[in-house]
Chain A
Amino acid sequence: MTTKTPSKLEKILRDGHLAVTSECGPPRGSNIDHIVKKGELIKDHVDAINITDNQTSMTRLCSLAACIRLKLMGLEPVLQMVTRDRNRIALQSDILGAASFDINNILCLSGDHQSFGDCSQGQNVHDIDSIQLIQAVRHMRDEGKFLGGDELEGKPEMFVGAAANPFADPFEIRVPRLAKKIAAGVEFIQTQCIYNLDKFEEWMKGVRERGLHEKCFILAGLTPMKSVGMAKYMQKRVPGMDVPEEVIKRLQGVEKGKQADEGIKMCIESIQRLKECEGVAGFHVMAIEWEEKVPEIVEAAGLYPRPNGN
């Protein structure tokens, strides 16, 4: 199938392979060694690596710089970009900057509210929202124009993604919301971490009923649990996260030293089950500060070796 951009991720998805992506959070300082190391650890087991954009509103080294670093290492970054901190001037400018380094994937997000982070007294921007950012990137890429209408000298050749949370409320608009993102021009989706597989499959059923799985590539998001404590924290404290009681009970059923192994096992089982779910085009494995486990998960889930994407 022909691709619209030079993105390796796009090529792999359009060729019909189950894609595998992962993500890394940039460091809280200027020392970039950390991201280089994380990239090295997972590069042979994933097709692309998302770099988060000041996730949970904790100030970090910028996503763009970390993406450039990965690109210079020959890896395939996905630039996460939130509308919380930049107005439409800064967003367009950063998109062009990323494109100038041949960063060919972008994930359009609104971002966690700044009250969760280290600058809770700061102002937020939200000049445009995540859906409008999808439209903006597509406009720049496809029309070759700025939002203001002027011609671009060089279009950003970016494969355009967004997030979807099948577990947030109101549930009834979660499929329509995906339809809205597709209408805005989204080409791939990475979902919120899936622990409630039944509910995810119910959402996917609604997605298929409207044929939305044929209009964008849906990568199922998975995060292995490290411990019962992490599972409880995610259940109680992380907005929009659905961690069923069975997940907590299963982790509680093994001794403390083996909970992490059990979490990995559960993650692998989830991937195996979701491989059978029609419309799932790949997996987004977010092993938070646990990137060294990504190769093991990918191999055990039967997703290794990766296609070369050329």
Chain B
Amino acid sequence: MIVADKKPIEEIIECLKDHKNILVLGCNECVTVCEAGGKKEVGVLASALRMNARKEGKEVKIDELTLERQCDREYLDEIRDSIDQYDAVVSLACGVGVQFTAEQYHDKPIYPGVNTTFLGATEERGVWTERCQACGQCILATTGGICPVARCAKRLFNGPCGGSTTGKCEINAEVDCAWQLIVDRLKALERLDDYEKLCPLKDWSTDRAGGPRKVVREDVKQ
């Protein structure tokens, strides 16, 4: 899923300081699972904003709503009839949802309420870790199912570097060395000989390097 983290409340308050009618808009997908932008977090942020308005003696109307998804026009249409009552929206969706909402409601300021962090998984409640950088050309078949692009701090294709110590990365003793994980996994798969295969230069044109990306699927297009 797309993992997001809360933005500092001060940053959100600063964005909203000139607005009087605000919609806090959550998303029921990834950001709900990672507890950053679902119905519960919408309620918490809305309450905090109301308290802040009272403290500052301002009259501000703050409504709450959580859509099924903000990355889908069908669901964003649900606010078409009510959007005019607001002069700003705080979207607690990922960066995709914030932008998609802004595209639908062109003359309405849509502020981000979370920091979108990475594509990751839930390790345990309250702990999420990165697994994928969506480089557009998956090499997991050759690296024992562990991604050096997302998980090696130097994204080495022929790692590890000389800084790998007792299974940890040189940048931080809390971070696993991706290449230690790859070696361990190749061993478990009885494929350690594959370690010596040279990984060729990567074609980054499917990554950010190639500019904004697009997937067109003729087989599913209507």
Contacts and interface: CB of A to CB of B under 8 A. Distances in A.
A135 B199 CA distance: 11
A147 B201 CA distance: 10
A240 B154 contact: no
Contact of A169 (B156, B157, B177, B192): B177
B164 interface: yes
Interface string B152-164: 0111111111111
Interface in A59-100: 83-84, 88
- Please classify how large the interface on chain B is, using the bins under 10, 10 to 19, 20 to 34, 35 or more: 20 to 34
A129 B167 contact: no
A232 interface: no
**Chain B interface mostly helix, strand, loop or mixed?**
loop
B75 interface: no
B198 interface: yes
- Please classify how large the interface on chain A is, using the bins under 10, 10 to 19, 20 to 34, 35 or more: 35 or more
A272 interface: no
Which of B154, B180, B201 gathers most chain A CB within 10 Å?
Answer: B154
A172 B180 CA distance: 11
Contact of B195 (A84, A110, A169, A173): A173
Nearest to B200: A132
A58 to B, nearest CB: 15
Contact of B159 (A115, A129, A184, A192): A129
Contacts of B184: 170
A168 B183 contact: no
B165 A169 contact: yes
Given A110-B154, A113-B154, A169 B164 contact: yes
A180 interface: yes
A113 B159 CA distance: 14
B196 interface: yes
A194 interface: no
Interface in B188-210: 192, 195-196, 198-202, 204
A280 interface: no
Contacts of A128: 157, 201-202
A176 B180 contact: no
Interface string B56-73: 000000000000000000
A113 B198 contact: no
B177 A240 contact: no
Given A113-B154, A183-B196, A240 B201 contact: no
Given A110-B154, A126-B155, A165 B198 contact: no
B183 A172 contact: yes
B166 interface: yes
30 contacts: A84-B154, A110-B154, A110-B156, A111-B154, A113-B163, A128-B157, A129-B154, A130-B156, A132-B158, A132-B199, A132-B200, A136-B201, A168-B160, A168-B161, A168-B162, A168-B163, A169-B164, A169-B165, A169-B166, A169-B180, A170-B160, A170-B183, A176-B195, A176-B196, A180-B196, A239-B163, A239-B164, A239-B165, A239-B170, A240-B164
Interface of A: 83-84, 88, 110-113, 115-116, 124, 126-132, 135-136, 147, 163-165, 168-170, 172-173, 176-177, 179-180, 183-184, 192, 239-240
Given A165-B162, A170-B167, 17 more contacts: A110-B156, A111-B154, A113-B153, A113-B163, A116-B171, A126-B155, A126-B156, A130-B156, A131-B157, A136-B201, A168-B164, A170-B184, A180-B195, A180-B198, A239-B162, A239-B164, A240-B163
